[in-house]
Structure 1
Amino acid sequence: MPGARVERISVLGGDNGSSARRVLALEWNQEGQAASLPERVFTKSTPTLPMRLSAGKAAPAEGRFLTDLRPHLPIEAPQCFYTGRDPVGGRSLHLMNDLTHERGATFCRADSEIDRAQAEQIVDTLAVLHGTFLHGSCTLDSSFLRTYENFFDAAARNNIEAGHDEAMIRAAHVIPAGVLARKASIWPSAVEAARMHGGSPRTVIHSDVHLGNWYITEDGRMGLSDWARVCRGFWGRDLAYSLMTVLAIEDRRAWEQALIERYCHAFSKQSGTALEVNDAWDAYRAQACLALLMWTPTLCPPPTLPDMQPEATSLEMIKRITTAMDDHDVVTMA
């Protein structure tokens, strides 16, 4: 807006994890006020070396997804006003709308309860995302996104396997005995599951759809935030990772059949390609170990990664995922 200028910036709060997150209050001059420019914005940046190692390389893709692709998706998700990255030092910055101020959003936590209607919104959101980009004939260009295997291989180079092994000992009190007895098979199963992404039809996946990345607007819509790991991969990852983390264990057991059926219907409608329920179940089980590999190294991060979540959150997510693995005999399938 010509003539618009920020005259004062105040930091209202924030926290640090895989990135530094802050809420800023902006005071505009008369031109900015007349244009109704946002009074609050949300920033994501990577000021520290561990943050840049963890998320810095993904920042350009996240920013481009939010600016180029997100506006075409009829889903509840953040809007990005500006994105930039220093190609030499790796520092990055995203400037987005403040969802709490603008949408009355409440961000989910490990103890948040997701009801059936909200769970249905979650699978509908994923089906729209996955179905939109399933075919190469989609006019929206997502080729700039990394593949899921790129992310997994980078994490492996950061020695997440050691963190996983340590966490399986540290979190043993929340892990079912059947999974603990076969813990040696989890890493090889995860490697195999990662390779599935190259042999399956690719689409755009969020890839980090755990409970803490969902929010609820004041009008009851479920939204999906933190697109730092958006990539091209297999839709089964998001389906498994979401249902195994967003739902309380008993709710997942009661609802997952119906939710997977709902996902298949919505996915088929959005993509124009039929997805059979049995195939979705196979994918759901096969991708479970990769979901776990997001949380065991979070509980026990290697030296190259930052502390990203409170211990209680990591333990709850590990409990939910490993219980789902036990329920569906995932480790005996390896």
Structure 2
Amino acid sequence: MPDVSAALLPPESIDAISAKWMTAALSTNFPGTEVTSVTVGTVIHGTATKVRLLLTYNDEGHRHRLPPTMWLKAGYEPHAEQQMAVYAGETCFYRDLARTMEIGCPIAYFSYTDSATAGSTLILEDLMARNATFGNATRPISPTQAAAMLDLLSTLHARYWRDPFLDTLGWLNGGGVLLESGVPDMVYNQSNFDRMLNLPRGAFIAPELRDREKLKALLIRLLEHDRDHALCLVHGDPHLGNSFWLPDGSPGFLDWQTAMHGYWAHDVAYAITVSLSVADRRHAERDLIDHYLTRMWEKGVTELSFDAAWLDYRRHAFYALCYAYCPPELQVEEVCIANAERVSAALLDLRSIEAWGEP
């Protein structure tokens, strides 16, 4: 990728997004492209800001077959300064890894991280052009759909299983962005903890899951375990809000901001726990773990036994409790209510906390 300057970081405001700036970004990878007009469409707020852009081009842009709509993903949120490493991680994923795997993630037309400031820019495919639909925690998926999601995760995990290449990517090291960006402090600081319990979701959080100091210490232990026993590339945040589904039923994942050199059970336990209704999870989770292991064995990863994998699953289900205590600036309350109910039930059913004391 050619050298680019810090001028390619996102404009200071959404209103400042211009055809000139889009031309500078897109012509980096698509030489000769000129964006002749840009119109701001839908704006979605969350961990990062996602801005849908409607674009027109010169003849060279059309020769590159650039689409009429794209998404700019950047940090226009009040909490953006605390999330710089998260944003940069996603641009690095698209720069270094996305094109090496068949995992159906959106096309990145431009990705850039400024080494001096850690600021980043990401311009992505508009999946609505592929008639994709998007997941939401308020709409749990079926066990069959969960199996398809695990198929995708097995492809991701097996691709770089125990591969030394991941150690060469500095942005993946140190336990990944969840540990380095201070997730335990963000979720389990006293102020946030008390505030979350007093929101409607608090009614679904079991009394056994309200010891703040114990929960924070265990989360740090879990993240340090995954840092010290990293086996593969993981998505890091495979909840329903980060999923999309194509018309043929195949899933994909958005928001690769927390891609990590980590531990397979983080993704698998998180995806199952927050994606299925309580009843479906209780009925299907053992079969789903077996399904995932079968897919891994088919891809040449044969070292995982069911008993060991089941213990890992039980332990790693604990991470999803972060969603119950997620600050409201990052997720709307109806999503956190749905996840608080599912996660609280799962942690009690699986005796997830107690599992960390088992051999």
Q: Which of the five TM-score ranges fits, normalised by the shorter chain?
A: 0.7 to 0.9
Residues 279-333 of structure 1 deviation map (CA, whole Å, 9 limit, x = unaligned): 111111111222212441334xxxxxxx111111112112111110011122344
Partner of 2:163: 136
Q: Which residue of 125, 130, 153 corresponds with 1:126?
A: 153
CA contact (8 A) 1:11 1:23 kept: yes
Partner of 2:172: 145
Structure 2 SS opposite 1:93: strand
* Counterpart residue identity of residue 175, structure 1: I
Alpha carbons of structure 1 residues 332 and 274: separation in structure 2 relative to 1, 3 Å: closer
Partner of 1:319: 341
Alpha carbons of structure 1 residues 138 and 267: separation in structure 2 relative to 1, 3 Å: farther
Partner of 1:290: 319
* Counterpart residue identity of residue 119, structure 2: R
Aligned residues: CA RMSD: 2.4
CA distance in 2, matches of 1:52, 1:262: 40
CA distance in 1, matches of 2:209, 2:100: 41
| Per-residue deviation, 1:139 | 8.9
| Per-residue deviation, 1:60 | 3.1
Partner of 1:154: 181
CA distance in 1, matches of 2:98, 2:167: 10
CA contact (8 A) 1:85 1:93 kept: yes
* Counterpart residue identity of residue 31, structure 1: E
* Counterpart residue identity of residue 10, structure 1: T
Q: Which residue of 89, 94, 103 corresponds with 1:61?
A: 89
| Per-residue deviation, 1:87 | 4.1
Deviates more, 1:138-147 or 1:104-113: 138-147
Q: Determine whether 1:115 maps to 2:142.
A: yes
Q: Determine whether 1:72 maps to 2:72.
A: no
Alpha carbons of structure 1 residues 276 and 16: separation in structure 2 relative to 1, 3 Å: same
| Per-residue deviation, 1:73 | 1.4
Deviates more, 1:135-144 or 1:58-67: 135-144
Q: Which residue of 180, 198, 204 corresponds with 1:174?
A: 204
Deviates more, 1:154-163 or 1:310-319: 154-163
Structure 2 SS opposite 1:96: strand
Stretches of structure 2 that go unaligned for 5 or more consecutive residues are: 1-29
Structure 1 SS opposite 2:257: coil
Partner of 2:248: 219
Percent identity of paired positions between Structure 1 and Structure 2: 23
| Per-residue deviation, 1:156 | 4.8
| Per-residue deviation, 1:137 | 5.0
CA distance in 2, matches of 1:140, 1:125: 23
CA distance in 1, matches of 2:290, 2:58: 53
Q: Which has the higher contact order (CA 8 A, sep 6+)?
A: 1
CA contact (8 A) 1:47 1:91 kept: no
Residues 151-185 of structure 1 deviation map (CA, whole Å, 9 limit, x = unaligned): 224325754312245424543311235545x6663
CA distance in 2, matches of 1:36, 1:135: 38
| Per-residue deviation, 1:141 | 5.7
**TM-score, length-normalised on structure 2?**
0.82
CA contact (8 A) 1:147 1:231 kept: no
Equivalences for residues 1-334 of structure 1 within 5 A = 1-48=30-77, 50-54=79-83, 56-101=84-129, 103-136=130-163, 142-148=169-175, 151-156=178-183, 158-162=185-189, 163-164=192-193, 166-168=195-197, 170=199, 171-180=201-210, 185-299=214-328, 307-334=329-356
Deviates more, 1:20-29 or 1:136-145: 136-145
CA distance in 1, matches of 2:230, 2:219: 19
Alpha carbons of structure 1 residues 223 and 174: separation in structure 2 relative to 1, 3 Å: same
Partner of 2:17: none
| Per-residue deviation, 1:242 | 0.6
CA distance in 2, matches of 1:140, 1:155: 22
Alpha carbons of structure 1 residues 43 and 266: separation in structure 2 relative to 1, 3 Å: same
Alpha carbons of structure 1 residues 258 and 222: separation in structure 2 relative to 1, 3 Å: same
**TM-score, length-normalised on structure 1?**
0.88
* Counterpart residue identity of residue 68, structure 2: E
Structure 2 SS opposite 1:293: helix
Alpha carbons of structure 1 residues 331 and 274: separation in structure 2 relative to 1, 3 Å: closer
Alpha carbons of structure 1 residues 273 and 10: separation in structure 2 relative to 1, 3 Å: same
Alpha carbons of structure 1 residues 232 and 137: separation in structure 2 relative to 1, 3 Å: closer
* Counterpart residue identity of residue 62, structure 2: Q
Residues 86-145 of structure 1 deviation map (CA, whole Å, 9 limit, x = unaligned): 4455432101111112x2111111222412321111111111111111122569964542
CA contact (8 A) 1:17 1:309 kept: yes
Structure 2 SS opposite 1:297: coil
Deviates more, 1:280-289 or 1:167-176: 167-176
